[in-house]
Structure 1
Amino acid sequence: MFVGEKLTDIRVLHGYSRNELAIALDVTEQAVWQFENGYATPGIETMSKIKQLFNVKNFFFYNDSSIGETVKEEGIAYRSSEKNNAKRTKTEAVYLRFINYLMEYIEDFVEYPDNLILKLRDYTINQIIEEGQVTERLIKEIAIETRNILGLNNQDNKNLLFLLEKNGLFIVERDLSVKTDAYSSWLNNNRPIIVLSNFEKSSVRRNFDLAHELGHLLLHYKINILELTTTEYEKIEREANLFAANFLLPEELFLNDMKSVKRKSNPNSYIELKEKWHVSIAALAYRAYQLNLLSYQQYRYFNGLLNKHGYRVQEPLDDTIPIIRPGKLRNSLRYIFENNLSDLNDFQKHTSFEIKLISKLFGIEEEFFSKYSVQPKIYNFKKRVK
């Protein structure tokens, strides 16, 4: 029997309204409503269009097993220039269900190290309870403790993405709206995820996105973001920014480095520090301003030069510092396929997804999967847990 909820899921995942899907299928909006609510079944021609549009196999709609547990929309924290958009949030909540479903398949074959991000979240919760509120001092302490636990210590931030993935985070790239840099969420099984925009940003700006979202994951667990007022939303954004600043640029080390900066109001004076810390010139100067190393007038002059030199768009070294891309899920799949623990055919049979959809969900190019598209293999591993 055709499972209408599956059509709703795949439609929302791709950002279609019922009316938009109806136009794409050349049917009425009422017909789509009937398909989704179990009052009608798509005909052969319509079914063919649906499969082609969404890159799923026929069995996807006739299998009543759900695509994982519902992800709560109110727990999705955006790094964005605008407050959460309801339609977009709904789409991303469905996306998180789909990607979590794929991650569960992977974890049948791959055992990851201890999730230090989860331990840091619990540590943060206990610190906030003890303090009674989130204060600037507490944010600073949590940021430094997080840096130490993750193994950054006195190092720069060059390997930040790798260390986050190694210690429990799942990071994926996805086509987000122009105004959204990233978002984060805790999935229902205590699996933390950060979704980065696949828009070509510089490596250093991406580091700040990661640190900002890590701040949300640790400081704002179970906060209902959809119910926040604009003022409350701006407050948690400031807290995430403060965490990111202290996490990426520890005060003691940064103050020592700033002694070598002679003209603190000149953006070009920060190029060497940018190369060392892998943090943008704009963020370095803002951190200096936070620590009272620049006066208000000096900081205004700095920003004027930033605009004059076009550094709001591209800074020096942006084109030479390589962009680090997520590798945890890619490497997990490679390990599974190359060690004959499973294969792409089994993966597709389990999900009923075509390669194009799997590629889109993981943010991994189709060519990666195509080279594993071979005849089924004889596994040398225990059967996947159902």
Structure 2
Amino acid sequence: MNPFNYEKLEIARLLRQKTQKDVVKDVGISQSTLSKAEHGLLELSDDMMQKLSQYYDMPIEFFSEMYEVPPVGYLYYRRKLTITNKIIDSFIAKVQIFKAIIDSLMQSVELPDYTLDNYRPSEDLSPKEIAHKIRFSLKVFHGPVPNLSTLLENNGIVIVRFDFGTEKIDGVSAITNENRKVMFINSQMPDDRIRFSMAHELGHIIMHIANPPKSSEEAEREADEFATEFLMPELEIRPMLEDLTISTLATLKRRWRVSMHAIVRRAKDLEVISNQQYRNMQIYFSKKGYTKSEPIQLPIEQPTILKETLRLYKDELGYSDQDLMSIMHINKNDFAEWFAPQPKIIRLQPIFNKSI
């Protein structure tokens, strides 16, 4: 009998959005046996493992990887209540598989060292103050943060963009078994929201992975406060928020490389505009369809570490796609979906000079 990592049975099942009852009905295994196997309390025969491998459409080698499956507690993400547990569980399973893939691939790649310090938010050290410390560590002493993908990857954070299967989760930060910091960003997200999401996840990495917060709500509030100050420092942006119009919003969006929504919210939080002005702008955005797609196309900040790692394996080490699938322990369909280049659809809208 081959040794199997039975914890990965649950990962495969959740990835394919199957319940234990689905498996019992389709494969011919009792729910008690499947449940005990997923918890590592019962071994299955080689024949049953082959059946499950075929049913989940995962290579049998996937279930032979003996790495420790990390707990969900290492993951931090913004969750909206309208997302079903099935979608969330499938998404988390995909993230866990990607983390193992990254550890496997990076064995042949020398990554930049991760040198950023961890900080625990407290009464004496706010997320806003932590943001200033991280800007200083990254040598962003004033003004807008430059290409954030490049900046973070040059400081040892692996950034992965893929389709989360839902538009209601923007990003996830995690740590692999080999202690690599990884940031997952949803490719469904509009480009003008990507930088804020990356800054938000950076806040989780800096403040929460080593120091778990009391609640997810607290973690989200702190990460938002960090991201806002990191990208739009109060002392620099406040004077620019006076007398906001749609036209000045366009200028600020180009300068700070964040969405118009984020800028307006910053103005409200800093009490530069009134609650009524904020509501008027939200109504205007809604009427113009800016809630889903804003005008002003920002430069796309594409991460490169994973792409360059795959290129190195193919061009310099002579790996084929089949070789890569073998070391990743995934099938052809998943490989094509997860790692094939995804063209971006650019939607442009006119912007009007109108005061609010």
Change (3 A) 1:34 1:253: closer
| Number of the residue aligned with 1:218 | 206
Change (3 A) 1:134 1:73: farther
Question: SS at the partner of 1:108?
Answer: helix
Distance 2:298 2:281 in 1: 23
Question: Is the CA contact (8 Å cut-off) linking 1:54 and 1:357 kept in structure 2?
Answer: no
| Number of the residue aligned with 1:11 | 13
| Number of the residue aligned with 1:38 | 43
Q: Does 1:249 align with 2:251?
A: no
Instruction: Give the residue type in structure 1 aligned to 2:267.
Output: A
Alpha-carbon displacement from aligned partner over 1:49-77 (angstroms, at most 9, x marks no partner)? x545544334444x4x41x2221212321
Distance 1:351 1:212 in 2: 29
Question: How many percent identity over aligned positions?
Answer: 25
| Number of the residue aligned with 2:117 | 120
Q: Does 1:355 align with 2:332?
A: yes
Distance 1:223 1:149 in 2: 20
1:4 positional shift: 6.8
Change (3 A) 1:13 1:356: same
Distance 1:138 1:366 in 2: 40
| Number of the residue aligned with 2:99 | 100
Distance 2:278 2:328 in 1: 53
| Number of the residue aligned with 2:218 | 235
1:194 positional shift: 1.8
Instruction: Give the residue type in structure 1 aligned to 2:117.
Output: L
Q: Does 1:189 align with 2:174?
A: no
Question: Is the CA contact (8 Å cut-off) linking 2:87 and 2:165 kept in structure 1?
Answer: no
Question: SS at the partner of 1:163?
Answer: helix
| Number of the residue aligned with 1:325 | 302
| Number of the residue aligned with 1:311 | 290
Distance 2:93 2:200 in 1: 23
1:357 positional shift: 2.9
Question: Is the CA contact (8 Å cut-off) linking 1:77 and 1:216 kept in structure 2?
Answer: yes
Alpha-carbon displacement from aligned partner over 1:79-134 (angstroms, at most 9, x marks no partner)? 23239976666545543442222222222211111113xx232xx24xx4xxxx25
| Aligned pair partner of 1:339 in 316, 319, 335 | 316
Distance 2:319 2:174 in 1: 29
Question: Is the CA contact (8 Å cut-off) linking 2:15 and 2:91 kept in structure 1?
Answer: yes
- Aligned pair count reads 335
1:338 positional shift: 1.3
Instruction: Give the residue type in structure 1 aligned to 2:21.
Output: N
Question: SS at the partner of 2:126?
Answer: helix
Question: SS at the partner of 2:301?
Answer: coil
| Number of the residue aligned with 1:27 | 28
Question: Is the CA contact (8 Å cut-off) linking 1:211 and 1:247 kept in structure 2?
Answer: yes
| Aligned pair partner of 1:298 in 243, 268, 277 | 277
Change (3 A) 1:109 1:16: same
TM-score by length of 2: 0.80
1:205 positional shift: 0.8
Alpha-carbon displacement from aligned partner over 1:119-150 (angstroms, at most 9, x marks no partner)? 232xx24xx4xxxx256x63222112212322
Q: Does 1:175 align with 2:164?
A: yes
TM-score by length of 1: 0.74
1:245 positional shift: 0.8
